[in-house]
Structure 1
Amino acid sequence: MDKIFSKNIVGGISVLWIVFIFCLLILKRDSLIGLELNSIGDFLAGTFAPLGFFWLVAGFYQQGKGLEQNSEALKLQAKELKKTT
């Protein structure tokens, strides 16, 4: 699980998703030209929502790892304090 949310993997998945959306826009450009602005906004919201959700999950995971490391450091600090007293 640690490898899934590394910076390189998250960046790679993000780039792949954006390239996929770009290819989709190129392939469907004829049908997108006739859309109203509201429909274009709906399309963009639908295409970038999974990427935003993925970033949200990755951020929570990275934050959890940081809290884990801080907890371990506090435990070690408490152990050292007990030794000195």
Structure 2
Amino acid sequence: MRHAMKRKDSFIQLFAMTGILLLSMRSLGQKYKIHSLEEDIHTLSLDHASLTDRINNIKRDLLREASQDSTGLFASRLRHLFSE
């Protein structure tokens, strides 16, 4: 009877240690996934800033070219489009 109880305790201990190991591995995987997502966020932020600057430069250049039109119709139309 004592021998069976001793084995039962060992089995429970093995079961608990296996559970802890599996949870640790899952946590480590999530840690690396979070790190990868943070790198993606940083890259996307840089891309967003670059695209925003590019759009603003294009708008500015278009408005500058349109302002050279003597009728002013093109510049008025562009201002209307860009305000929306």
TM-score (norm 1): 0.52
State the identity %: 6
Correspondent of 1:46 among 17, 24, 31? 24
CA RMSD of superposed structures (Å): 1.9
* Structure 1 gap segments, 5+ residues each: 1-32
Structure index of larger Rg: 2
**Structure-1 separation of matches of 2:21 and 2:62:** 62
**Structure-1 separation of matches of 2:32 and 2:45:** 20
CA-to-aligned-CA distance 1:9-44 (integer Å, 9 cap, x gap)? xxxxxxxxxxxxxxxxxxxxxxxx9323x4332110
* Structure 2 gap segments, 5+ residues each: 1-9, 64-84
Q: In the TM superposition, what is the alpha-carbon distance from 1:81 to its structure 2 partner?
A: 0.7
Answer 1 or 2: higher relative contact order, Cα 8 Å, separation at least 6: 1
**Structure-1 separation of matches of 2:55 and 2:19:** 52
Q: 4+ runs of 1 displaced by more than 4 Å?
A: none
Aligned equivalent of 2:46: 68
Higher-helix-fraction structure:
2
